[in-house]
A and B are shown apart, each in its own frame.
Chain A
Amino acid sequence: MLEALASIHPDADTQPFWDWCAKRELRFQRCDSCGRFRFPPLSGCRHCGATAAEWVRVAGRGRVFSHTTVAHAAFPDLRGDVPYSVVVVEFDEAPGARLISNVVGIDPAKVTVGMELELFFDEAAGIVLPRFRPVGR
């Protein structure tokens, strides 16, 4: 899905996230100093300002925090992809870090806030992206 957008442009701060994705692992930075998660990847903690952080793995069970069904293609290359569901996913294992992604395997109109999700890794054009299915699908 969304092949027209399947490219990434990492820098030194964001590269580790994508390196873990390539190994089929979803990891978020947890501040060594205050213990809080941060996302997107940043060189400093937005809560305490400390820099050192550990990349902590989450197993991949998540929950829909918010969602939208994109019905209108923002540009012509996406006309074949609409409607698609964009979700903001939260994780019990990484409170405070939310991931923007897609849910597949369900009618976008049936996605709800609070819906339980399961992570999978989707490879497109050599890029490995974290995406989700409803639990049990």
Chain B
Amino acid sequence: MNLRDRTAIVGFGLTPYGRRGEFFERSQIDQIRECLDVALEDAGIHRCEVDGFCSYSVDSNDPGMLAPALGIPNVNFSNLVFGGGGGGTCAAIANAAAAVHAGLANVVMVWKTITQPPHARFGAAYGSAMVAANPYSDFHRPFGLVSPVQFLALLVRRHMHRYGTKPEHLAEIAVATRRHAMRNPKALKREPLTIEEHQSSRMIADPFRLFDCCQENDGGGVVLVTSAERARDCRQRPVYIMAGAQGGDALWGHGLTMQNQPDDLYASAGHAHLARRLYAMAGVGPKDVDVALLYDHFSGLVLLQLEDYGFCGRGEGGAFVADQGIYFEGGRLPVNTHGGNLSEVYLLGMTHVAEAVRQLRGTSTSQVPDAEIALVTAGPSNLPTSSMLLRR
């Protein structure tokens, strides 16, 4: 027994996309309300039906405050996923699905918002006041390894050494993603980008240049999950949750910050463990996936995830993305058709879920014809991270 196709995403809502710090003066609950109202309207569900609450990444808005502020009468289920930044998005949705399937809740809202104070930039991570130094950060922080871009650069550098992956392959990802963003009126970065412009942009942490890095933004989203049965009476075509997986190989451990993964796991995104469980639960394989929304905090991690999810062999990610291999028209696999974190907006994974739902409803601005199955991943990071398969 598993939860395959027993539950569905029936609605979503997003805030406007803000620059870093733009919404700092707004309360997070106010943003969550805005998203929830859009999601309820999208789904055709009344707020009184919502009775479950799931979030991730040390969210500070607990249901005890949220429910009364949002006019929701009952709190029947609540859950928060451990882990870093955007790692828990799909885990939170799978937990919502599990709660609904188990009868613990009727309609679960999954939410996440990010509002960045001017004095403590999220991307500075262990260098900022937002993350306290601790006994384990002592093994990287004093050596100037403080930010996700730096940790993940080390994995991609090793991949380049082992498999001959080139900086131009990273550029292919940034350019294809930008081309998707140029088709999406809501995307924040819509100026044309060439391979050459990518290659001459300033270095951040070798091999990652400026255009390999996601944006930093303010905003958020809410996703509504309910039973497949209830979903069939909702306003939109249901998007069924085929499978969800969270966690990872224990030897990945604090992989991102400790860099002690076994060699075969090191030059990866740490998602192969999730991929195996996901495909087994869904009863499908990589060839069945029509569109992939792969968490792109940094370009190179898209390449590594393509290998982890079996779209190509280990070490073949460079060849896979070459010649615009992830562009939605003529590519080998359409990836991040909304423009991703790199070019659309960075809202800790909520926009990847939203785009998967659009693709399966047939409403993307870079629509994959007859898309039936979508893969969504959350941020490769310390464990737990997560992913899910959705179908129309």
Q: Does chain A bind chain B?
A: yes
Contacts A39-B260, A70-B144; is A9 near B133 (CB within 8 Å)? yes
Asked whether B142 lies within 8 Å of A2 as measured between CB atoms, the reply is yes
When distances are taken between beta carbons in the complex, the residues of chain A under 8 Å from B144 are 1-2, 5, 70, 78, 81, 84, 86, 102
Question: Which residues of A115-134 are within 8 A (CB) of B?
Answer: 127, 129, 131
B161 contacts partner chain A, Cβ-Cβ < 8 Å: yes
**Least CB distance, B140 to chain A, in whole angstroms:** 5
Residues 5-18 of A, flagged 1 when their CB comes within 8 A of B and 0 if not, give 11111110110001
- The contact size tier of chain A is 35 or more
Which stretch, B30-38, B56-64, B151-159, B269-277, touches the partner chain A? B151-159
Query: For residue A13, which residue of chain B has the nearest CB?
Result: B135
Give chain A residues whose Cβ lies under 8 Å from the Cβ of B134: 9
Determine if B150 is an interface residue (Cβ-Cβ < 8 Å): yes
Chain A to chain B: the 10 pairs with minimum beta-carbon distance, closest first: A68-B153, A71-B203, A66-B158, A69-B206, A11-B135, A113-B161, A74-B147, A74-B127, A75-B127, A72-B204
Q: Would you give the 0/1 interface string for A48-73, flagging 1 where the beta carbon is closer than 8 Å to chain B?
A: 00000000000000000111111110
Instruction: Flag whether A35 is at the interface (Cβ < 8 A).
Output: no
B143 interface neighbour in A9, A69, A129, Cβ under 8 Å: A129
How far, in angstroms, from A127 to B138 measured CA to CA in the complex?
11
Docked-complex contact A98 and B259, CB < 8 angstroms: yes
A-B contact pairs, 19 of them (CB 8 A): A1-B144, A5-B142, A5-B146, A7-B133, A9-B137, A40-B258, A66-B259, A67-B154, A69-B205, A70-B144, A70-B145, A70-B150, A74-B128, A81-B144, A98-B259, A100-B140, A100-B258, A101-B143, A129-B143
Bound together, the chains give a CA A39 to CA B259 distance in angstroms of 9
A101 CA to B57 CA, complexed, in Å: 28
Which stretch from B117-125, B175-183, B309-317 is at the chain A interface?
B117-125
A58 CB → nearest B CB, Å: 15
The 8 A CB mask of A70-112 against B (1 = contact, 0 = none) is: 1110110010010010101000000011111110000000000
Contact with A along B317-343 (1 / 0, CB 8 A): 000000000000000000000000000
Quick check: is B202 within 8 A (CB to CB) of the other chain?
yes
Q: Could you tell me which residues of chain B, from 177 to 210, have a CB within 8 Å of some CB in chain A?
A: 202-207
Q: Please determine whether B136 and A100 come into contact, CB atoms closer than 8 angstroms.
A: no
Q: How far is the CA of A33 from the CA of B153 in the complex (A)?
A: 35
Q: Is B141 close to A, CB under 8 A?
A: yes
Contact A66 B161 (CB under 8 A): yes
Query: Of A66, A74, A96, A113, which one neighbours B124 at CB under 8 angstroms?
Result: A74
- A40, A69, A99 — which one has the most chain B CB atoms within 10 A of its CB? A40
Query: Any chain A CB within 8 A of the CB of B251?
Result: yes
C-alpha spacing A113/B145, complex, angstroms: 18
Contact A2 B203 (CB under 8 A): no
B137, B138, B149, B150: most-surrounded residue (chain A CB, <10 A): B138
Min distance, Cβ B15 to any Cβ of chain A, angstroms = 27
**B138 (CB) vs chain A CBs: closest residue:** A8
B139 close to chain A: CB less than 8 A? yes
Collect the chain A residues with CB atoms within 8 Å of residue B135's CB: 9-11, 13-14
List B contacts of A9 (CB < 8 A): 133-135, 137-138
A12 to B: closest C-beta gap in Å: 9
A71's closest neighbor in chain B, by CB? B203
* CB neighbours of A65 from chain B (8 A): 158, 259, 266
Chain B neighbourhood of A2, CB < 8 A: 142-144
State whether A71 touches B204 (Cβ < 8 A): yes
Contacts of A127 in B (CB 8 A): 142
Complex CA gap A11/B254 in Å reads: 17
